Amino acid sequence: NAGVTQTPKFQVLKTGQSMTLLCAQDMNHEYMSWYRQDPGMGLRLIHYSVGAGITDQGEVPNGYNVSRSTTEDFPLRLLSAAPSQTSVYFCASWQGSNQPQHFGDGTRLSIL
Amino acid sequence: DQQVKQNSPSLSVQEGRISILNCDYTNSMFDYFLWYKKYPAEGPTFLISISSIKDKNEDGRFTVFLNKSAKHLSLHIVPSQPGDSAVYFCAASGGNNNDMRFGAGTRLTVKP
């Protein structure tokens, strides 16, 4: 039972490069989300999806794009990486309202 | 704006004693509250939750208390064990999880 799988675990980029962080879940959850975690701060919501084909912005969406073509996959795209996007990124999925989110193990991204 | 605050960055307790982790929130629309536990290099894992219709929820050694008038929740761990050493995040939402907000976390160290 894999749960939520994120790839890669680590990545170093140069400013201006593009990158796609992958997230896949095998629990048939309709809801998925992306968070970033920065030192001294809680997880902040970047984008979320309530089902295939439906996405919306969270608290800090600028500089990131998402799509949801299948229930299982929810990739996060950085079109032109900036040093301010250096962070740990977590993907999560959940069943619905008032249900806990299940998180992947994160992607540690450094942008030079 | 930090709608969920964990004012203690760290807490150290002796094995067998009680650990009390605190969390305050500002948004009166929040009605679903959760605690997550996070080990290094792993994603947060769900620990326990409580809805606003309750003031207490227990699960084994873990109890969450909610004081709606004070906008305060706490997590009690009794008895504390060395394996409980981790970072604990509290989170709150309006019920659909799309607006979930996380605190910055409290690092709990349980000493043998």
pLDDT in tens, B29-51: 999 999 999 999 999 999 999 99
Q: For residue B10, name the pLDDT band (cuts at 50, 70, 90).
A: very high
Give residue ranges of B with CB < 8 Å to any A CB: 2, 4, 6, 32, 34, 36, 41-46, 49, 51, 89, 91, 95-105
What pLDDT, in 10s, does the model give residues B67-109? 999 999 999 999 999 999 999 999 999 866 677 899 999 999 9
B97 vs A contacts (CB less than 8 Å): 31, 33, 94, 97-99, 101
For chain A, the residues whose C-beta falls within 8 A of a C-beta of chain B are: 4, 6, 31, 33, 35, 40-45, 48, 50, 56, 58-59, 90, 92, 94, 97-106
Tens digit of each residue's pLDDT (9 = 90 or more) over A30-58? 999 999 999 888 899 999 999 999 999 99
Q: What is the mean pLDDT of residues A106-110?
A: 97
- Whether residue A97 and residue B97 make contact (CB cut-off 8 A), yes or no, is yes
Quote the pLDDT of residue B99: 79
DSSP chain B: --SEE---SEEEEETTS-EEEEEEE--TT--EEEEEEE-TTS--EEEEEEETT-SEEEETTEEEEEETTTTEEEEEESS--GGG-EEEEEEEESSSSTT-EE---EEEEEE-
Closest residue of A to B52, CA-based?
A98
Chain A residue closest in CA terms to B42: A105
pLDDT tens digits, one per residue of A78-107: 999 999 999 999 999 999 888 899 999 999
What pLDDT was estimated at residue A96? 84
pLDDT at A26 over 90: yes
CB contact under 8 A, A41 and B97: no
Q: What is the mean pLDDT of chain B?
A: 94
- In angstroms, rounded to a whole number, what is the distance separating the alpha carbons of residues B13 and A64? 41
Task: Kindly determine whether residue A101 and residue B32, on different chains, have CB atoms separated by under 8 Å.
Answer: no
